[in-house]
Structure 1
Amino acid sequence: MKQNRILAYCALAVSLLASCKDSPDIPETTEKISTEYSVWVTSTTGSYILTTDDLMKNTLLTPAGNKGIDISGYLPGDWYGVYAYNYQGKFYLSNDGTRFSQLEIQDNATMKETNNYAFPSAFYLGKVLNELNSKDELVITKTAGTYNAAKNVLEQPIYFMNVNNLTLNKTLTVDIPFLDYKPLTPDNKPYIAPYMVPTSFTVRSGKMFVGHKYRGSDGTGNKDILDSTFVYVCDYPSMANGKLLKDARGGIVAGHWEVNNTTFLDDNNDLYILTKKIGPSTYGLVRIKAGETEIDKDYFFDLKDYNVFKNTSASTIQKLGNGKAYISPYVVDPANKKITADLRILTGGAEPKTTMNLIENGKLYDAFKTDASKWYIYEYDPATNAVKRGAEIDGGITHVYHINKLK
């Protein structure tokens, strides 16, 4: 068994650009890859997926030489890793605006499309509702809903995708109300074509919470506007009895419409939502306590003095358990408003670089870049507050998007 391989996308481009039929021809038997983990990386020459049997083994994961194929011609851009998701060892992504593909790694280190679903209108993979996922079903949104001018709402569909045959079990739609006034730029002019971006979805105890922000053009480009926290809450799954929550303390609900998650439920079922101030990009946490549907006015964890998500394109908050969460590069105790560890210090000054990291058996796996421009995967154990250095990643890469469990 090879210790690490680069997954080639040789046949992928052809199969994905073929006609979007719902059930592509699949061989009766397919050999799945036997390695345990994958790492999605980019370099100045392209994008690759590397595999290994052991993230903590003293080995080098590299896309150098002729071991793999540059997939940048297939992906719309290097940033496309934030619009892809790995679920139960399979990759899910959209590529041409309507086609939603399920991809699997084969034993000969190639990637194969094993199923697809053709949406009738525009679709790019957005948020994943992790609380609702099951073994046979993936619950997802698309990056942009539809503005209904008559109702002045964003109609955001939620798709319940059967992962066994890639068909839709059902679709629900949440109507998120727009502002009833026109926001103004600092020059006191209306923003051009303001729009809404859902940045988080959480379902808890029969309620759905949708964090969102507003964007619009000030004439020089699209900008985040309205420096307040907006959360829409409604009954689930009926979507009835909706109301809009607003809080001016922390800023917009952080994140964008890509897969990354910037909210979490703690062990007490309290919902924490990351906020971001426009401008200097300072962060904070607000809370909606278990059983409540209002933002807790007595709680705000100000993170303005910390370099949260420094040098990352986007990041995912990870619940570590026992009252802890990972908000890169910090381990935080949100209930007590404390920073309990800085993983840059524990790793000897390395900076975290992964967009979507991995939790397995209660331990966190993230990629860090040292001052000497060496890239390594580190394991963090919350129980001991200690790190271990694992596999090295070729120093020629520019970013790590995913660390995934394949089986």
Structure 2
Amino acid sequence: MKTKFTKAFIAIAFAAVLSACTKSESTDTPVDPVNPESKGNFILAVTPAASTGVADYLLTTTDLGGGVKSIIGNGVEQDGTYRYYVAHNNKFFSMLYGQNNPGAVTTYDVKAGKLNKLSNFQTETVQAFAPVNDDLLLVKIPRNIATPLANWYRVNTNTLLISGQGTIDVHAPSNNGETAFFSWIKQVGNKVYAPYFSIKACCNDAFGTDYPDQAWIAVYSYPEMKLEKVIQDDRTSFIGRYFTNGLDLVENGDVYAFSSSVATKGGVLTSTKPSAITRIKAGTTEFDKDYFMDVEAASNGYVITNWLYIGNNNFVVNATLKAQKGAFVDGTKIGVVNVVDKTFKLVSGFPEVSEIKSVTVNNYTPKDGKTAYVGVNLKDGSSYVYKVDASSAAASRGLKVEGGVITAIQHLQ
């Protein structure tokens, strides 16, 4: 089962009642002569090239390695702006950021190479979500120190209904006068691991902290979501970043975690630790003190901002120079990290950083240990999918997407 997700300033909680879309998902625009029929099991989310108030289009294609796709006369227009995406249980969920108001979530599968709408949901704002078993687990996390309870929801991806919900005391994991704000959530065995950063959640410094040089993971039972323990380490700053998964599992069950070292106080970066990778060995619930990868040293000065596990202990990572790092800076350099060998290689074949407007952080891999497909949007307005070969640390230009900016690349069976 392949699972993917995107990064964004959103979140979602599903209501148990289905509702109808408020916007048509078809178009009467003449068919694009470049690609007269958009079919395939790869899904690309594309934001049209307009300044404000534009809705994403979803394109399907059979091949990421070449050719041209355009949103002109093609694709499925989404309902509203600021959409984010997750695929699980061979379904594709398109989610509207409701700005603290309810928003639509549309569910698709692929039939004969085309997106097939299954249902719509209502949403409310949450800040972390991830697949767990056949569910999507969603967590709405407070930012006010006076609000100690986070709400969680289990959405069954077979029935497309809420199967459970409850609350979590986010003061309990940190136990230091600050709030535990989950950077993401991840299934590990039959548990849910929630790496978090400790935040003041008050006083005009909501994401500031007095504890910039510590990493924590809250471990919860599932499906009860009861706090069982907190795993701690003082060799790095917090794991992941806002709305960024900093944990992943390799084939032998070991868990690896990255830190960008971007804790702040008063808006100023305060962590003294390097961007680094740590490990929790399979069958344990403690950081392995015998393992540590200093990413900055291995890369000659780069910081990881996101990663994609591609198999065989290899990650394709977004990275930026340490001097340019920030709490919300997405790296536009691409590297390959082998966590067992502790190696970092910059990938050749991409455009120069000065030419790049953005690089997608929701990318696709067949998990063959060597291949990833990454969206690259250039300042000249063109957008491409690049194929990364981790074995050679080289990339080649593939599919060209016209009419907008690539924001996600996913795949359904």
Above 0.5 in TM-score? yes
1:56 CA displacement: 3.2
2:309 to 314, 319, 334: 319
Aligned to 1:91: 93
Distance of aligned partners of 1:63 and 1:389 in 2 relative to their CA distance in 1, 3 Å threshold? same
1:165 CA displacement: 3.6
1:249 CA displacement: 2.0
Structure 2 Cα separation of the partners of residues 236 and 125 of structure 1: 19
Aligned to 1:9: none
Asked if 2 retains the 8 angstrom alpha-carbon contact of 1:94 and 1:100, the reply is yes
1:233 CA displacement: 2.2
Match for 2:130: what amino acid? V
Task: Give the number of equivalent residue pairs.
Answer: 346
TM-score of the pair, normalised by structure 1: 0.69
Matched, 1:197 2:197: no
Asked if 1 retains the 8 angstrom alpha-carbon contact of 2:109 and 2:115, the reply is yes
Structure 1 Cα separation of the partners of residues 278 and 387 of structure 2: 28
1:38 to 40, 43, 48: 43
Is there any run of 5+ residues in structure 1 with no aligned partner, and where? 1-19, 183-193
Match for 1:403: what amino acid? I
1:116 to 116, 120, 123: 120
Structure 2 Cα separation of the partners of residues 50 and 240 of structure 1: 38
Match for 1:128: what amino acid? A
Aligned to 1:342: 346
Structure 2 Cα separation of the partners of residues 250 and 232 of structure 1: 16
Structure 2 Cα separation of the partners of residues 169 and 92 of structure 1: 20
Aligned to 2:228: 242
Aligned to 1:405: 411
Structure 2 Cα separation of the partners of residues 299 and 404 of structure 1: 32
Asked if 2 retains the 8 angstrom alpha-carbon contact of 1:125 and 1:140, the reply is no
Alignment of 1:122-141 (within 5 A): 122-124=124-126, 126-129=128-131, 132-133=132-133, 137-141=134-138
Alignment of 1:117-266 (within 5 A): 117-118=121-122, 122-124=124-126, 126-129=128-131, 132-133=132-133, 137-144=134-141, 154-159=149-154, 161-171=155-165, 174-176=168-170, 177-182=172-177, 195-216=179-200, 221-225=205-209, 226-227=211-212, 228-237=214-223, 239=225, 242-256=228-242, 258=243, 260-266=244-250
Distance of aligned partners of 1:155 and 1:126 in 2 relative to their CA distance in 1, 3 Å threshold? closer
Distance of aligned partners of 1:174 and 1:124 in 2 relative to their CA distance in 1, 3 Å threshold? closer
Aligned-pair identity (%) = 17
Structure 2 Cα separation of the partners of residues 300 and 106 of structure 1: 42
Structure 2 Cα separation of the partners of residues 236 and 55 of structure 1: 38
Structure 2 Cα separation of the partners of residues 335 and 403 of structure 1: 27
1:358 CA displacement: 0.7
Secondary structure at the residue paired with 2:279? Answer: strand
Alignment of 1:241-390 (within 5 A): 242-256=228-242, 258=243, 260-277=244-261, 278=263, 279=269, 283-304=275-296, 305-308=300-303, 315=306, 317-328=307-318, 329-339=334-344, 341-343=345-347, 345-347=348-350, 349=352, 353-360=359-366, 362=368, 363-369=371-377, 374-382=382-390, 385-390=393-398
Kindly provide the CA deviation profile for residues 212-260 of structure 1, in whole angstroms up to 9, marking residues without a partner as x: 113346765533422121211244445557222332221122222x4x4
1:99 CA displacement: 5.2
Match for 1:293: what amino acid? T
Secondary structure at the residue paired with 2:302? Answer: coil
1:85 CA displacement: 1.7
1:265 CA displacement: 0.6
Distance of aligned partners of 1:292 and 1:348 in 2 relative to their CA distance in 1, 3 Å threshold? same
Match for 1:22: what amino acid? V
Kindly provide the CA deviation profile for residues 131-162 of structure 1, in whole angstroms up to 9, marking residues without a partner as x: x34xxx3322134269897xx95445241x23
Secondary structure at the residue paired with 2:340? Answer: helix
Secondary structure at the residue paired with 1:358? Answer: coil
Match for 1:245: what amino acid? I
Match for 2:87: what amino acid? N
TM-score of the pair, normalised by structure 2: 0.69
Distance of aligned partners of 1:307 and 1:374 in 2 relative to their CA distance in 1, 3 Å threshold? farther
Structure 2 Cα separation of the partners of residues 67 and 238 of structure 1: 44
Aligned to 2:107: 103
Distance of aligned partners of 1:393 and 1:34 in 2 relative to their CA distance in 1, 3 Å threshold? closer
Distance of aligned partners of 1:200 and 1:302 in 2 relative to their CA distance in 1, 3 Å threshold? same
2:17 to 22, 28, 41: 22
Distance of aligned partners of 1:138 and 1:203 in 2 relative to their CA distance in 1, 3 Å threshold? closer
Kindly provide the CA deviation profile for residues 88-108 of structure 1, in whole angstroms up to 9, marking residues without a partner as x: 24224255444562333899x
Distance of aligned partners of 1:242 and 1:359 in 2 relative to their CA distance in 1, 3 Å threshold? same
Distance of aligned partners of 1:48 and 1:105 in 2 relative to their CA distance in 1, 3 Å threshold? farther
Is there any run of 5+ residues in structure 2 with no aligned partner, and where? 1-14, 27-36, 264-268, 319-333
Instruction: Give the CA RMSD over aligned residues.
Output: 4.1
Secondary structure at the residue paired with 1:359? Answer: coil
Asked if 1 retains the 8 angstrom alpha-carbon contact of 2:57 and 2:76, the reply is no
Structure 2 Cα separation of the partners of residues 138 and 390 of structure 1: 34
Asked if 2 retains the 8 angstrom alpha-carbon contact of 1:148 and 1:155, the reply is no
1:332 CA displacement: 0.7
Asked if 2 retains the 8 angstrom alpha-carbon contact of 1:357 and 1:364, the reply is yes
Structure 2 Cα separation of the partners of residues 371 and 23 of structure 1: 40
